[in-house]
């Protein structure tokens, strides 16, 4: 029997929850994921199952009806979801990330208005940072918000917005002071609701992988957003708020990398024991044994890095270094492991009949999402220099 990775989770309650999600993934997700994915169909039934298990409420405080569980638990849940189908952990990601930002930085009125509705969830959340000319350099955004009485008037365009078509609240990064130096001091974040005058959701973007979950453009044309929807009620703090929330997103993406890599390894070690070549199962050939050993070792290291980052976030510590390391290592390992799994399977691995080709198409987005690998290295280096200043 395979070693249960939930034993790496220290909190016994979290361990139980993650194990339960794993059972659900094996029963409901793995048998249906490829069908949903090949059709690029939003998995309503699976998302409803996630809601029924309370996963959308996982980080909402109990005072607002949520479960208020730790990030260690959240990381484990995301690993299991991604082991079944990476897109499910993506649906959950921005919802939890935005909920965290509202809880950590929102006004009391904003918390009371949005958090209870995110529990069931009555609404799901989306994060909107990227623009056609601003990706990794978030301070280069051009979307502008100008105060006009009781509202802000917002103009600009956003893209690559996960949950864009189905969100009930969007956390949108804007510039309220384009002349500010440094630029981040002029950036503010708004909670934008569907139906706002001048706000529209654009086309769904076609992707190599990460299917089933919609990724869209947003347009703001003299959109009117109530001043009460300025996150935290103070201009110029949005960049800091969103960067802190992205630590949560990086834990999620690291966990997704671990989950997809684990799925590829599980398929590989089973296949290696069934497939016979040159008179014996290929698992008995030394070359494949070395491949499996390296895959398993790197996955375990990635998993432990991810849980370590999650526990630091749970402890209230600054975790940009830890989340950056986990995200960098886990997603690069995922990319490597999936390719090694393809090599081990040979020609059959290239077939759309097996989920391996889905893993292969899903892996690249994780080295890009929530900050590319190069950006993670910069984040890590800056944190190291800060922590080791002489």
Q: Mind telling me the catalytic residues? A: 370
How many other C-beta atoms can be found within 10 angstroms of the C-beta atom of residue 347? 7
Please write down the HEC assignment for all residues of 249-305: HHHHHHHHHHHHHHHHHHHHHHHHHHCEECCEEHHHCHHHHHHHHHHHHHHHHHHHH
Cα gap 278→281, rounded to integer Å: 8
Q: How many alpha carbons fall within 13 Å on the CB side of residue 349?
A: 20
User: Which residue is associated with the tokens 């989770």?
Assistant: 9
Task: Kindly state the helix (H) or strand (E) to which residue 165 belongs, with its residue range.
Answer: none
Helices within the chain (DSSP H only): 12-24, 33-39, 44-52, 71-84, 86-105, 108-114, 238-274, 286-314, 320-345, 356-366, 373-387
Residue 228 DSSP label = G
Candidates 292, 225, 235; CA nearest to 264 is 292
């Amino acid at each position: 029997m395979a070693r249960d990775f939930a034993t790496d989770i220290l909190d016994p309650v979290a361990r139980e929850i993650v194990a339960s999600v794993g059972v659900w993934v094996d029963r409901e997700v793995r048998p249906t994921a490829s069908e949903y994915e090949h059709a690029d169909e939003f998995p309503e039934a699976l998302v409803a199952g996630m809601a029924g298990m309370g996963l959308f409420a996982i980080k909402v405080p109990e005072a607002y009806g949520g479960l208020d569980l730790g990030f260690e638990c959240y990381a484990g849940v995301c690993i299991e979801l991604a082991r079944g189908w990476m897109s499910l952990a993506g649906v959950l990601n921005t919802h939890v990330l935005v909920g965290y930002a509202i809880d950590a930085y929102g006004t009391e009125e904003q918390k009371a208005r949005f958090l209870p509705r995110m529990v069931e969830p009555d609404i799901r959340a989306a994060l909107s940072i990227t623009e056609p000319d601003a990706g990794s350099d978030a301070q280069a955004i051009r979307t502008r918000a100008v105060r006009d009485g009781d509202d802000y008037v917002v103009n600009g365009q956003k893209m690559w917005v996960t949950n864009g078509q189905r969100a009930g609240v969007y956390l949108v990064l804007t510039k309220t002071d384009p002349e500010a130096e440094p630029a981040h001091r002029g950036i503010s974040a708004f909670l934008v609701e569907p139906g706002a005058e001048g706000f529209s959701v654009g086309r769904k973007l076609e992707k190599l992988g990460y299917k089933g979950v919609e990724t869209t453009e947003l347009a703001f044309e003299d959109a009117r957003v109530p001043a009460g929807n300025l996150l935290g009620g103070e201009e110029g703090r949005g960049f800091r708020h969103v960067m802190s929330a992205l630590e949560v997103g990086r834990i999620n993406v690291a966990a997704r990398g671990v989950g997809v890599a684990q799925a590829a390894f599980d398929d590989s070690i089973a296949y290696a024991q069934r497939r016979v070549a040159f008179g014996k199962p290929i698992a008995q050939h030394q070359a494949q044994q070395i491949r499996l050993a390296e895959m398993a070792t790197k996955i375990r290291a990635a998993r432990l890095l991810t849980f370590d980052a999650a526990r630091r976030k749970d402890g209230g510590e600054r975790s940009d270094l830890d989340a950056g390391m986990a995200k960098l290592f886990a997603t690069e390992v995922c990319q490597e492991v999936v390719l090694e799994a393809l090599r081990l399977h040979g020609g059959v691995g290239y077939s759309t009949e097996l989920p391996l080709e889905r893993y292969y198409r899903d892996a690249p987005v994780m080295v890009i999402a929530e900050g590319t690998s190069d950006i993670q290295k910069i984040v890590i280096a800056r944190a190291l220099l800060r922590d080791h200043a002489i």
